[in-house]
Chains A and B, each alone.
Chain A
Amino acid sequence: MWKRAFFGAVVLLLVGAAAYASFFIAPTERTMGLIQRIFYFHAASAWAGMTAFSICFVANLLYVWRRQPNWDSLGVSAAEVGLAFITVVLITGPIWAKPAWGIYWTWDARLTSTLVLWLLYLSYLLLRTLIEEPDRRALLSALFGIFAFLDVPIVFGAIRWWRTQHPAPVIMGGPGSGLEPTMRAVFFFSVLALHALMVFLLAERYGLEKLRTEMELLRREAEVV
């Protein structure tokens, strides 16, 4: 209990500090102005969401391999938390795009593939609600999760090849790209903070899923008796 409260407090502090840093420490961007500050949460949420989906993929693989219910719990928790972060990305994106590009939404590579990714994990969670039996639900959703994760780079490749009008990646985008040093520091601090938040939410959701599984088991036993 105390451990959770402590962890929660640390996460709160980190996210608060990241917010402070992105508003007051990071310099104002030259062309976009204040609105660019949303970047520290927008892009950092995207990274945290992608990490969550990667955790989901690994958990799916391990479930298929080992068949331990814990991996299923981790998989669904990571998918839900990842979906929440990607939802934040999809909401903050248009808020940023409107003043920067003049439109809320454009069908370019990263936006569209993020949207397809979001849809795929939405389907993953919906699929889970439609299968009653726990073992079957775990196995089939894990397999769909694997297919969906494999699809993501292909979707990205397809959209990037055929329809793009997007600025080149700023971070790790090759020569000529890159952030001003303070911006870079604030950005990576935000990435750290949002990852901490993601791990915290994941741990909480995982605990909840474990309790649910246990309850389901007890209910079954009671029905048998």
Chain B
Amino acid sequence: MSLLANTTILLGKELRTEFRSRELLTTTIVFILIVLVLFSFTFDPLSEEARRFGSGLLWLAFLFAASLMLQPCFLREQTNDTLSALRLSVSDPFAIFLAKLAANTLFLLITELLLLPVFAVMYGVPVVGVLHWLVMVFFLGSLGVSIAGTALSAISAQARMRELLLPMLLLPLLTPILIASTEVTASLLDRTPSVQWKGVGFLVAFDLVFLTALWLFGEYLLEE
């Protein structure tokens, strides 16, 4: 039970840090907005094409944004060497990862849900009828992005060129998430919406595999 208790306390700390300034959230939202606007110049955004390519664009924007948003996750702890303090204060370092990835999932989900209406209006894609399913896909996808991203941001924070390194490590690793989320989202945005359970199961499997890997190897990522 101490893992859960530790995680809850650490999650509170992550959320407090962010909601004090909200700078991560605002910057990410503006970034995704810019990407969505720029994408619209590459094809006719109100044509039937938008239905076909829209979900892919949306997820690509989310992925790029996440690879930037996850940068400060561990970097932030370096300024005052708070990571050492964190490690000393919890018995299981997995709690640090769990708290950070829960916070990151939440931040990603918030930005995605805030931008969904903007996307729907700009690209002429109706989303109201399938909103609850979209939330589920966004959650599962963001969870996968956050699990892998939190692990890799612990790596990139200890290297040079970290701003470029994290996207370089993370984006190829997230190929399955991009494919599965795009497919599920695309079938939800279709003229006759349907839930692709195969894709949903796939996302769950990805999340479980990487969560297990993080649980097994996470503590080594934080070694001094």
Contact = CB atoms under 8 A, between A and B. Distances in A.
A159 B178 CA distance: 11
B130 interface: no
Interface string B122-157: 000000000000000000000000001001100100
B160 A150 contact: no
A144 B169 contact: yes
A136 B179 contact: no
Interface in A131-159: 131-132, 136, 139-140, 143-144, 146-148, 150-151, 154-155, 157-159
A212 to B, nearest CB: 19
B209 A143 contact: no
B176 A146 contact: no
Classify chain B's interface size: 20 to 34
Contacts of A146: 213, 217
A136 to B, nearest CB: 6
A144 B214 CA distance: 11
Nearest to B223: A139
B143 to A, nearest CB: 15
A12 interface: no
B221 A143 contact: yes
Contacts of A161: 198, 202
Given A64-B220, A131-B158, A158 B213 contact: no
Contact of A119 (B172, B180, B220): B172
Nearest to B170: A123
Classify chain A's interface size: 20 to 34
B78 to A, nearest CB: 14
B172 A143 contact: no
Interface in B143-195: 148, 151-152, 155, 158-161, 165, 168-169, 172-173, 175-176, 179-180, 183
Contacts of B206: 154
B32 to A, nearest CB: 23
Interface of B: 148, 151-152, 155, 158-161, 165, 168-169, 172-173, 175-176, 179-180, 183, 198, 202, 205-206, 209-210, 213, 217, 220-221, 223
15 contacts: A120-B172, A126-B168, A127-B155, A131-B158, A131-B160, A132-B160, A139-B223, A143-B155, A143-B217, A147-B148, A154-B206, A157-B202, A159-B179, A161-B202, A162-B179
